[in-house]
Amino acid sequence: MADGNDFLKDFPVLQEQAAGHRVAYLDSGATTQKPVQVLAAVDEYYRKYNANPHRGAYQLSVEATEIYEKTRAKVAKFIHAKRPEEIIFTRNATESLNLLAYSYGLKKVQPGDEIVITIAEHHSNLVPWQFVAQTKGATLKYIYLTDDGNLSDDDIESKITDKTKIVAVTQVSNVLGLKNDVKKVVDKAHSVGAVAIVDGSQSVPHMAVDVQALDADFFAFSGHKMLSPMGIGVLYGKYDLLDAMPPFLRGGDMIEYVQEQETTYAQLPAKFEAGTQNVGGAMGLSAAIDYMNQVGYDTIEAIEKDLVEYALPQLRELPYIELYGCDSQRDNKTGIITFNVKDVHPHDVATILDSFGVDVRAGHHCAQPLMAYLGQNATCRASFYFYNTREDVDHFVEALKKVRGVLGYGD
């Protein structure tokens, strides 16, 4: 395994100093930093290839089209889709899931039907299904958690029924950092004729994903959580399902013919990609995939596992630290540690840590139902990536020891 320090040279932001230390960036669950290879790719696009794809007969447009479509093919290979046409480019996972809510959910769900999600969902995979259920007169049901933070097998069996039309589940919780047994959920959904939707926002950056092996009907993720620029996301869908769905947005480049009173739409994937697309973001995503392939998922997972196993014993020695999602019995912990400091609001914890050059996330993490289920209004979250080091952990722990003292506590 390569030393995590070996990757730092590729991330300019991580060379910055704060409070006399190299900044310890521990918020990769929100967005990852970008290596120079990705920055260079985006810069190269706008310097050399900037043009609308698909629309021009001139060289720049042809080159922009080639970049865009080669990235689509690369993404398909990256997640093991059957064909490039099953890859739809969006702005992010949120847009991907909303596309499904509008173009699939509103069409397929009827009064009396049921939609099943988990209590651990990010709002992006929760609020759209609330909307569909409320709009169509359907019931929204939740799979809850066991005491160690994992999805309840009993709930998977009992909540997904013959009335279920959609099951939506995150592959990795952005709060608890636990891998869910998505295949079990997908298989149960299919056994009752339901469609299975997987939010891969917290999985694709950290673990190999094979959408065909999962048998997911739809799969969504964001580029910015896996080294690429903001503003580029992916929706994978099985071809026949996507082909039967109406467009989400209407306008330029997603049409076949437009007449005064009617329009016919383009074939996949263009049908779902209205308007000028983010080709620069796609080129950045392509470079990010190349970089991740070079690092390798084995290395990524090994570094994150080492950092979590190095950090947790030190945190458990601090009597004022409360941990969430760190006691799973299934060996499915990823590089996320969610915690609170007793008697200190999470926002104050994050602000004080920032004064020592440590960046963590504080708040409800776009998962308020899960926070309520845990009996918390907010928590802090440290999320690691392969560019983090044990030095970052040491810096984090030492800064955490000072938080209560800053507020006048004696310990």
280 within 8 A of 47, measured Cβ to Cβ:
no
b/e burial code for range 318-348 (CB count within 10 A of at least 16 → b): beebeebbbebeeebbbbbbbbbbeebebeb
Confidence class for position 222, pLDDT limits 50, 70, 90: very high
Please state the pTM of the whole predicted model. Answer: 0.97
380 within 8 A of 345, measured Cβ to Cβ:
no
At 9-45, the pLDDT tens digits run 999 999 988 888 899 999 999 999 999 999 999 999 9
Token pair in block for residue 184:
């079990």
At 50-98, the pLDDT tens digits run 999 998 899 999 999 999 999 999 999 999 999 999 999 999 999 999 9
Catalytic positions: 366
4 pLDDT more than 70: no
Domains of the chain, each with CATH number or no CATH: 4-26+296-406 (3.90.1150.10), 39-292 (3.40.640.10)
At 295-354, the pLDDT tens digits run 999 999 999 999 999 999 999 999 999 999 999 999 999 999 999 999 999 999 999 999
Report d(CA 284, CA 34) in Å as an integer: 9
At 142-186, the pLDDT tens digits run 999 999 999 999 999 999 999 999 999 999 999 999 999 999 999
Report d(CA 303, CA 306) in Å as an integer: 5
Q: Are strands 87-90 and 361-363 parallel, antiparallel or unpaired?
A: unpaired
Identify the H or E element spanning 149: none
